[in-house]
Amino acid sequence: MGKPTGFLEYDRKNNAASAPLERIKHFNEFHVPMSEKSRKEQAARCMDCGVPFCQSGMMLHGMASGCPLNNLVPEWNDLLYRGNTEKALQMLRQTNNFPEFTARVCPALCEASCTCGLNDSPVTCKANELAIIEYGYANGLMEAVPPKARTGKKVAVVGSGPSGLAAADQLNKRGHDVTVYERSDQIGGLLMYGIPNMKLEKWVIERKRKVMEEEGIKFVVNADVGKNVKAEDLLKEYDRIVLCCGASNPRDIKAKGREAKGIYFAVDFLTRSTKHVLSGNSEGWIDTKGKHVVVIGGGDTGNDCVGTAVRQGAKSVVQIEMMPQLPKERAANNPWPEWPRVCKTDYGQEEAIAVYGKDPRIYQATVKEFIADKNGNLNKVKLVKLEAKKDPKTGRMNMEEIAGSEFELPADYVLIAAGFLGTQDYVAKAFHVKLDGRTNAATEAGSYKTSADKVFAAGDMRRGQSLVVWGIREGRQVAKEVDESLMGYTNLP
């Protein structure tokens, strides 16, 4: 695929990013697309490797290797290189309903398992994908294509995150009448209010929504099923229900002083920030300008909190990570094509370094106590250092406190980005859906059918907190199962 000698002739080049001190002046995307010639050269690096792990979607040691959507990466890289971008778009859309989302926010599992990356830098699959889908929109290739015939079957999708949107898109293509119910005021789930604007500008979601509406999908917002919309009404009106409500129970930090004012979950902080960016409305906005901010959690969401606080003009930003710092390169026990467990400095951390002069991350530490002033407002956090110790009974490594290692940091706001524990249960209860031990919707192995008649579940609600690309895959798969249950067979991919 691509140019046979391309990976030898061309070095990897990424889309140029604005300098940190420039891009923190706004909340817009900050990467600049390269020229068509340069993009073709990047596609030419795809090397006809024989076994393209980039599209495998395998699980290796509990981590995904390659694209869970099984995107035909070598094929559309080859077509992009040869200048047949329209055909590349067709190839891309065979497996991915929303390349405009994944090309912006996916951590690029395809690139992590790229064969070229074994001894060199991987192919820029993610940026190539973005170039292809944006070419499609720019050239009138993404216009609505409603189904030519309708089946007369009605399906309600509860939740409009990646899995809900993918399920709705697939079922509508089949000809079913699909209505999507969203409890928020905008569709998109965490795409809209969990991922900040500088990673995914919200006009991208609105652009796709218009296409989906023109194709016949109905969206009902401010519809909180199980509260202001009754489950029994949906069961009467629709032939099937698909629950895609996410895993929105945030993991809390139960330390002394937790009741102090100024402690927020990351998703609440990011939601309010995005609403402020979109509308300018300051109601409920958490403004960190001139404040000391401590972010608990070292993942992508924690990094998004860092980048957002920096843009708001925080006086200081510190990011707390329980685990040790990862190595800069793959360790011997983390061989390719496994997901590389290496330390990366993401955009928010880059910006914090530029503004404050140092990396915001503190490793192997956790909060021991939240300390408030006499009015109950948070003003400090007490941290304690941790060390890894092996449990003699289980052999597992646990992070344990180091006696006498406590220290304090100023903190006007703490943002908890420690992940999620499972779905909120009121929707499941409304439909009498059983939950498993992790509070996810219980389904049989290999199936998306729940314990309730006519009710299916997919996405984070079924598998737990995961990536956008996994949500899209689950949405596509649940659509296939729902279609078969309605029609007796399915021709959905």
Q: Which residue has the tokens 């009448």?
A: 177
Under the banding of pLDDT at 50, 70 and 90, the label for residue 284 is confident
The burial of 481, by beta-carbon neighbours within 10 Å (0-12 exposed, 13-18 middle, 19 or more buried), is given as buried
pLDDT in tens, 30-72: 999 999 999 999 999 998 898 999 999 999 888 889 999 999 9
State how beta strands 378-390 and 407-410 pair.
Answer: antiparallel
Cβ distance 171 to 181 under 8 Å? no
Q: DSSP letter at 121?
A: P
Q: What is the mean pLDDT of the chain?
A: 96
pLDDT, mean of residues 311-332: 96
Cβ distance 402 to 387 under 8 Å? yes
The burial of 315, by beta-carbon neighbours within 10 Å (0-12 exposed, 13-18 middle, 19 or more buried), is given as middle
Distance CA 21, CA 412 (A): 24
Higher pLDDT, 341 or 395: 341
pLDDT in tens, 105-115: 999 999 999 99
pLDDT, mean of residues 90-106: 98
Reply yes or no on whether the pLDDT at 441 is more than 90.
yes
Distance CA 389, CA 377 (A): 35
Distance CA 65, CA 54 (A): 7
Task: From 146, 168, 166, select the one nearest 157 (Cα to Cα).
Answer: 168
In order of their start, the domains of the chain are 6-138 (1.10.1060.10), 154-248+421-487 (3.50.50.60), 263-416 (3.50.50.60)
Structure tokens at 97: 């309903």
pLDDT, mean of residues 97-106: 98
Residue 472: strand pairing partners: none
Alpha helices in 158-240 (DSSP H): 162-174, 190-193, 203-214, 231-237
Asked if the bond preceding 122 is cis, omega within 30° of 0, the reply is no
Concatenate the DSSP letters of all residues of 237-262 into one string.
H-SEEEE------BPP---BTTTSBT
- Output the pTM of the full model: 0.96
pLDDT at residue number 440: 95
pLDDT at residue number 124: 98
pLDDT at residue number 280: 86
pLDDT at residue number 283: 82
pLDDT at residue number 392: 87
Under the banding of pLDDT at 50, 70 and 90, the label for residue 356 is very high
pLDDT, mean of residues 255-263: 97
Neighbours of 179 (CB within 10 A): 18
| 12: CB partners within 8 A, 6+ apart | 42, 45, 120, 121, 122, 123, 124
Structure tokens at 59: 């699980």
Neighbours of 393 (CB within 10 A): 6
Q: Estimate the share of the chain in helix, then strand, then coil, as percent rounded to the nearest 5.
A: 35, 20, 45
H or E element that contains 474: helix 468-487
Pick from 294-298, 338-342, 389-393, 466-470: least confident: 389-393
State how beta strands 378-390 and 365-372 pair.
Answer: antiparallel
